[in-house]
Every structure is written in structure tokens, then in C-alpha cells.
Structure 1
Amino acid sequence: MDCLVFTARGEHAMFRQPETTTSALTFSCIHPVATKGLVGAVMGLDNGMFGMNNAKLAVSRNELYESTLDMRVGIRVLKPVRKDTQNFSLVTMKSEHLFNFQSPMQFLRDVEYELFIAWDSKKLDKLETALKTRIYGITPYLGVSDFGAKLSFVKRCDAKLIENATAVDTVIPVRCIKSMKFSACSLNVETVNLFPTRNNELREYISRETVKFAFEGNRNCAINGDFDAEVYNVDGCNVYFF
């Protein structure tokens, strides 16, 4: 399976949980839907933005959605999760009597991800060119437009299916973990609930999972155990693809 690997870094990031409104919370790491959006920005794919009057009306051709239907995504979280909360003043412009209130918003600080993209080879060729030349269709960012994402091409290689994998280095759904083995008392396993894995052409989440990834100290480490999932070796890294 043809696979491209690149890293994405940022001072701040936010992958908003849709259930939160005025007190906006973020998922603990980038998710597959956001990763597809990041790739779309790099390649300048049109996301078919809605009309102003009714988001449920027919939309223009959603090039991003259609082009990434066959994309598979692996996510490796390279830095521990650090969250900050900042307060913003929200001002209403619809009422006769203007008022404002404090709204806490949660951000991720100092993030870095290694992203594995398995896709059509011709599409990967275009993505590789964009990453190497740093000529992007749209300025990429990690959910916070004031802080651009720093992207770096890593490698292009073949992802090979592993028989009976005993370790996974990337984010993996809980349903795929039959058992876990803890070899270090300092192992920190992060759990993320309602993690978006797929959306539709209206950009609505239609598939969500509970997922896990692990750290030992300040470095990413594998989850060891027995797995009921397809795991691929990508140049020495055991990857689960969404």
C-alpha cells in the first residue's frame, strides 16, 4: 500500500468537540477528518462551502470530500497532550440591548503529529510535490488560524500488512484492542471519546470512536498487546489506518 508520511507542528491547535458551544473544548489530538482537511488545504482542494441562507441546501461540488473518500489516515502523536484554557469576550449583535459574557475556550499547546497517508499514487505524487516545495493551495493550520502549521515531508514508502501485530505506535480504536500489556509503570495511556473518524459531504460527523494512544515520559511509545485490527508496518512504525 503506497503511503506518504509527513509531520505537522504548531504552537497552538484546536479540534473542537461539536457538543461544546460557548465553552469550547478540544479533542486531545488531531483526528482523521481534520487530517483530510489539512491535506486538502495543502493541495488546494475545494471543500464546497455552504450557501449563507441554509446549510442544508444543495452545495457546490465538494472536491475535498470526493477526493479523500479513498484516503486512509494513520496518526502518531509525538508530543504529550498539554491543554490551555483562555477566556474570550463574546458580544451579541442581535439584541437591542448589547451584552457580552466571558467564554472559556480550550486549546492544545505545542503539538506535533506524524501523519501517515495511504491514498491513490497519483494523488500522493501531488501531495508530495506540495510538501517538498512548500507551495500550498491554502495556508494550513491546526484549527487556530492565527498559528500556521509547520509541515515537513518525511518519506514515501510501502505500508506492509503485519500478521498478528503485538504493538501499535499510532492512535487506535478501543474496539480493536483485545488486551494490553504494561511493561513500564510510567506509561501514560490517553483515551479520547467520540473521536471523529468519518464525515459526509455536509461536513457532519457520521462515525466516531473511542481511541487510545500512549506516552512514556515525554515521548510517544507503542501500545503493546493483542489486537483485532489490520496493522501495517511503515518503515519500522506499526500503524493503524482509519
Structure 2
Amino acid sequence: MKLLIFDVYGDFGHFKKYYTTSSPLTFSFPPPPTIKGLIGAIEGIGKKDYLKVLSSEKCKLAVRILNPVKKIRMGLNLINTKDNFWIPFKKKNHEARTQVKMELLKDPMYRIYFYHTDEDLFNDIIEKLKNHQNVYTVSLGLSEMIADYRFVGVKDAFEEKNSEVFVSSVLPYKYILEDKIVFEDGKKYFKEKIPADMDEERIVLDYADVVYEANGKSIRSYVSSSWVIDDEHIVFF
């Protein structure tokens, strides 16, 4: 199977955790629906269509953390835009803006692995990445978090089953056999529950428990399925 590989990075990122409201927290990496939105922006697929065009039945995704996960807190002013106008200064019974404390990722960088069954679409996305010709602005979660990207390559990937390997990507728990993870010294392991799939109405269809290493190091585990690219193993969501 041919896989498209590219890196995406920026100064800041925010991938809101679904259970936070007034003080939003962020996932440490973009969940699959967010990655689909990023690819849709590059290809020029509209907001109403990208979850259909890039549905889980048609594409495969994996993500690798390249830069160590760093999180900071920042106060952001949210401007009142109700009734299609914004209030430039405080009036009686009206607040011009509301400040919220938001958790942000600092200097995030990720490697994305992507496959799609539609060969024409797949090749067009490859060409846009090669030529750095995205249709819409690429961001890391929020429109304010402008991102850049670089083409890494198109490489052959081969599936390997029921083996103990060093997984470079974020690792979904459903692939781990017998709960076997070899915890090694000098590595920081974290577990999170992320939205793994959404329908066209943006309703979450599936959540996934995943484990990752905060500095982007590999995870030694016994897995039911992994994909080999050169000398590394990845696991799709």
C-alpha cells in the first residue's frame, strides 16, 4: 500500500477536549477528524463535505509526535459578535469581550500518514502537498493557529501482524494484545480518550483510547497489526 507522508507544524495549536468548556484544554495531538479537516483544507474540500469524502471507510490515518509536547496557559479575549455585530467598548449591560484561560500547545509538530482508496483524489492531494498549493488556510485546530506543512514522501507500507514492535505513531489501545506495553526508562507515557470518527453532522461515532510518548519516542508493544515503512512501524486509528 502506498502511503502519503507529510509534516505539519506551527507556533501554537489547540485541539479542544470534548469535556472542557469555560477553560478549554487541548489534546496533545490532532485527533483523526481534525487531521481530516487539515487534509480537506489542503485539497479544497468544503466543511460540509470533508468528513464524507475522507470517511473512515475510504481512508487510513496515523499521526506521529515529532516535537516534545509542551503546553502553556494563555488568556484570550473573546469578542462579543452576537446579532452580527461586535461591541468595541463596554456599554451598560454589555460586555465588549470575555477573557478565558486556554491551554495551548507550543511549537507543535506532527507527521501524518495518509491513504485513500480514491486514486485520483489521493494523487491530487500528493501534488498539492508537493507544490505547497493548499486551497484553504491550514491551521492547527483553531483558525488563529496558522500552520505550515512539508511533503516528506510517498512510500510503500507493508502490514505485519501479531508481533512485538517499536511503534512510532500514536498507539490505539484496541491493537494492543494482552495489554502488553513494555515501559522503558526515560520515556513519558500518557493515555487519552479521543474522538476517532465523526459523521457528516459532526456527531462522534466512535471514541478511542490511545497511548503516546510525550517526547515523540517509540512505544514498545505487542500489537495485532502494524504497518512497516522503511525501518519504522505505525498503527492506524
Unaligned runs of 5+ in 2: 83-90
- Does residue 104 (structure 1) correspond to residue 101 (structure 2)? The answer is yes
Unaligned runs of 5+ in 1: 49-61
Taking a change above 3 Å as real, the CA distance of residues 139 and 90 of structure 1, as seen in their structure-2 partners, is closer
Residues 74, 241 of structure 1: 8 Å contact kept: yes
The residue aligned with 2:59 is: 71
- Aligned pair count? 222
CA distance, structure 2, for counterparts of residue 160 and residue 154 of structure 1? 18
Poorly superposed stretches of 4+, deviation over 4 Å:
90-96
CA distance, structure 2, for counterparts of residue 142 and residue 170 of structure 1? 18
CA distance, structure 2, for counterparts of residue 71 and residue 111 of structure 1? 24
Deviations 1:6-36 (A, max 9, x none): 0001110011112222211111111111111
TM-score normalised by length of structure 1 = 0.85
CA distance, structure 1, for counterparts of residue 134 and residue 229 of structure 2? 26
CA distance, structure 1, for counterparts of residue 109 and residue 65 of structure 2? 7
- Does residue 39 (structure 1) correspond to residue 27 (structure 2)? The answer is no
Deviations 1:27-57 (A, max 9, x none): 1111111111100000000122xxxxxxxxx
The residue aligned with 2:153 is: 155
CA RMSD of aligned residues (A): 1.9
The residue aligned with 2:171 is: 172
Deviations 1:109-149 (A, max 9, x none): 10110100011232221111101111111011102323321
Comparing 28-37 with 140-149, which one deviates more in the overlay? 140-149
CA distance, structure 2, for counterparts of residue 119 and residue 212 of structure 1? 25
Amino acid at match of 2:221: G
Within 5 A, what are the aligned runs for 1:13-92?
13-48=13-48, 62=49, 64-69=50-55, 70-90=58-78
Give how far 1:162 is off: 0.9
Comparing 33-42 with 65-74, which one deviates more in the overlay? 65-74
Residues 14, 145 of structure 2: 8 Å contact kept: no
The residue aligned with 2:227 is: 232
Give how far 1:221 is off: 2.0
Within 5 A, what are the aligned runs for 1:189-200?
189-193=189-193, 195-200=194-199
TM-score normalised by length of structure 2 = 0.86
Give how far 1:188 is off: 0.9
| Secondary structure class of the residue paired with 1:107 | strand
